[in-house]
Structure 1
Amino acid sequence: MKVDRLPKVRTSLSPTNHPYMTGAWTPLHEEVNAWDLTVLEGAIPTDLDGVYLRNTENPVHDPLGRYHPFDGDGMVCQIEFKDGAATYRNRFIRTRCFEAEQEVGASLWGGLMDGPGTSKRPGFGAHGSLKDTASTDIVVHNGEAIATFYQCGEAYRLDPLTLETLGVAAWAPLEGVSAHPKVDEATGELMFFNYSKAWPHMHYGVVDASGKRTVYQPVPLPGLRLPHDMAFSEHWAILNDLPVFWDQDLMARDIHAVRLHKGLPSRFALVPRQGGEPRWFEAAPTYVLHWLNAYEDGDEVVLDGYFQENPIPRPLDSAPDGHGHLMAYLDEHSFRPKLHRWRFNLKTGETTEKHLDDRILEFGMFNQKYAGKPYRYAYSTTSKPGWFLFNGFVKHDLETGQSWSIDLPDGVYASEAPFAPRIGAKDEDDGYLISFLIDETKGTSECAIVDAQSFAIVCRIALPHKLSSGTHSVWAGREMLRE
Structure 2
Amino acid sequence: MTVQTIRELPNLIDAGDHPYLQDAWTPLLQEVNASDLKVLEGEVPRDLDGVYLRNTQNPVFPSLGRYHPFDGDGMIHMASFRDGKVEYRNRFIATKGLTAELERGERLWAGLMEDPALSTRPGWGAHGGIKDASSTDVVVHAGRALTTYYQCGEGYRLDPQTLEQQGIPSWSPLDGISAHCKVDEHSGELLFFNYSKYPPYMHYGVVDRADKLVHFTPVPLPGPRLPHDMAFTEHFVILNDFPLFWDPELLAQGKHVVRFHRNMPSRFAVIPRRGSEADIRWFEAEPTFVLHFLNAYEDGDEIVLDGYFQDEPMPRNFEGAPAGYERMMSYLDQYKMGTHLHRWRFNLATGETTEQRLDDRVLEFGMFNQRYAGKPYRYAYSAVQVPGRFLFNGYVKHDLETGQSWQIMLPPGQFASEAPFAPRLHARAEDDGYLVSFITNENTQRSEVVLVDCQRFEAGPICRIELPHKLCSGTHSCWTNGADLRDGLLSGQC
Question: Once structures 1 and 2 are overlaid, which stretch shifts more, 250-259 or 353-362?
Answer: 250-259
How many angstroms apart in 2 are the aligned matches of 1:53 and 1:59?
19
The equivalent residue for 1:457 is 461
The equivalent residue for 1:66 is 66
Please state if 1:480 is matched with 2:491: no
Match of 2:280 among 268, 278, 281: 278
- In structure 2, relative to structure 1, the CA distance for the partners of 1:360 and 1:212 (3 Å cut) is same
Q: Give deviations 1:328-352, integer Å, cap 9, x for gaps.
A: 0000011011000000000000000
The equivalent residue for 1:440 is 442
How many angstroms apart in 1 are the aligned matches of 2:49 and 2:288?
39
The equivalent residue for 1:75 is 75
Secondary structure in structure 2 of the residue aligned to 1:405: strand
CA contact (8 A) 1:10 1:105 kept: no
Once the 2 structures are TM-superposed, how far is the Cα of residue 9 of structure 1 from its aligned partner? 3.2
Aligned length, in residue pairs: 483
Match of 1:302 among 298, 304, 308: 304
Once the 2 structures are TM-superposed, how far is the Cα of residue 54 of structure 1 from its aligned partner? 0.2
Match of 1:378 among 373, 377, 380: 380
Secondary structure in structure 2 of the residue aligned to 1:55: strand
How many angstroms apart in 1 are the aligned matches of 2:423 and 2:447?
24
Once the 2 structures are TM-superposed, how far is the Cα of residue 480 of structure 1 from its aligned partner? 3.1
Secondary structure in structure 2 of the residue aligned to 1:453: helix
The equivalent residue for 1:427 is 429
Partner AA of 1:247 in structure 2: D
The equivalent residue for 1:167 is 167
CA contact (8 A) 2:15 2:22 kept: no
How many angstroms apart in 1 are the aligned matches of 2:150 and 2:482?
28
How many angstroms apart in 2 are the aligned matches of 1:159 and 1:43?
27
Partner AA of 1:92 in structure 2: F
Partner AA of 1:114 in structure 2: E
Instruction: State the Cα RMSD in Å.
Output: 0.9
How many angstroms apart in 2 are the aligned matches of 1:40 and 1:119?
46
How many angstroms apart in 1 are the aligned matches of 2:174 and 2:11?
30
CA contact (8 A) 1:139 1:147 kept: yes
How many angstroms apart in 1 are the aligned matches of 2:123 and 2:171?
20
The equivalent residue for 2:318 is 316
CA contact (8 A) 2:15 2:21 kept: no
The equivalent residue for 1:158 is 158
Partner AA of 1:2 in structure 2: T
Secondary structure in structure 2 of the residue aligned to 1:6: strand
Please state if 1:2 is matched with 2:7: no
Once the 2 structures are TM-superposed, how far is the Cα of residue 274 of structure 1 from its aligned partner? 1.1
Partner AA of 1:73 in structure 2: D
Please state if 1:263 is matched with 2:250: no
CA contact (8 A) 1:142 1:480 kept: no
Once the 2 structures are TM-superposed, how far is the Cα of residue 436 of structure 1 from its aligned partner? 0.3
The equivalent residue for 2:94 is 94
How many angstroms apart in 2 are the aligned matches of 1:472 and 1:71?
15
Once the 2 structures are TM-superposed, how far is the Cα of residue 300 of structure 1 from its aligned partner? 0.1
CA contact (8 A) 1:11 1:105 kept: no
Once the 2 structures are TM-superposed, how far is the Cα of residue 478 of structure 1 from its aligned partner? 1.0
- In structure 2, relative to structure 1, the CA distance for the partners of 1:381 and 1:141 (3 Å cut) is same
Partner AA of 2:175 in structure 1: E
The equivalent residue for 2:363 is 361
How many angstroms apart in 1 are the aligned matches of 2:231 and 2:84?
34
The equivalent residue for 2:176 is 176
Q: Percent identity?
A: 63
How many angstroms apart in 2 are the aligned matches of 1:406 and 1:412?
13
Once the 2 structures are TM-superposed, how far is the Cα of residue 15 of structure 1 from its aligned partner? 4.5
CA contact (8 A) 1:140 1:480 kept: no
The equivalent residue for 1:225 is 225
CA contact (8 A) 1:6 1:31 kept: yes
How many angstroms apart in 2 are the aligned matches of 1:228 and 1:23?
28
How many angstroms apart in 2 are the aligned matches of 1:262 and 1:189?
36
Q: Which runs of 5+ in 2 are unaligned?
A: 489-494
CA contact (8 A) 2:116 2:130 kept: no
Secondary structure in structure 2 of the residue aligned to 1:175: coil
How many angstroms apart in 1 are the aligned matches of 2:54 and 2:373?
20
The equivalent residue for 1:348 is 350
Once the 2 structures are TM-superposed, how far is the Cα of residue 116 of structure 1 from its aligned partner? 3.3
Secondary structure in structure 2 of the residue aligned to 1:98: helix
TM-score between the two structures when normalised by the length of structure 2? 0.97
Q: Which runs of 5+ in 1 are unaligned?
A: none
Partner AA of 2:281 in structure 1: R
How many angstroms apart in 1 are the aligned matches of 2:74 and 2:172?
18
How many angstroms apart in 1 are the aligned matches of 2:180 and 2:231?
9
Once the 2 structures are TM-superposed, how far is the Cα of residue 320 of structure 1 from its aligned partner? 2.2
CA contact (8 A) 2:17 2:322 kept: no
How many angstroms apart in 2 are the aligned matches of 1:332 and 1:341?
18
The equivalent residue for 1:130 is 130
Q: Give deviations 1:411-432, integer Å, cap 9, x for gaps.
A: 1100000000000001000000
Please state if 1:28 is matched with 2:32: no
The equivalent residue for 2:492 is none
CA contact (8 A) 1:115 1:254 kept: no
Question: Once structures 1 and 2 are overlaid, which stretch shifts more, 146-155 or 3-12?
Answer: 3-12
Once the 2 structures are TM-superposed, how far is the Cα of residue 14 of structure 1 from its aligned partner? 3.3
CA contact (8 A) 2:200 2:221 kept: yes
Partner AA of 2:336 in structure 1: S
How many angstroms apart in 1 are the aligned matches of 2:20 and 2:484?
34
How many angstroms apart in 2 are the aligned matches of 1:480 and 1:269?
32
CA contact (8 A) 2:46 2:83 kept: yes
Once the 2 structures are TM-superposed, how far is the Cα of residue 8 of structure 1 from its aligned partner? 2.0
How many angstroms apart in 2 are the aligned matches of 1:111 and 1:78?
27
Secondary structure in structure 1 of the residue aligned to 2:308: strand
Secondary structure in structure 1 of the residue aligned to 2:116: coil
TM-score between the two structures when normalised by the length of structure 1? 0.99
How many angstroms apart in 2 are the aligned matches of 1:171 and 1:399?
40
CA contact (8 A) 1:446 1:463 kept: yes
Secondary structure in structure 2 of the residue aligned to 1:479: helix
- In structure 2, relative to structure 1, the CA distance for the partners of 1:15 and 1:399 (3 Å cut) is closer
Once the 2 structures are TM-superposed, how far is the Cα of residue 10 of structure 1 from its aligned partner? 5.6
CA contact (8 A) 1:75 1:135 kept: yes
- In structure 2, relative to structure 1, the CA distance for the partners of 1:10 and 1:54 (3 Å cut) is same
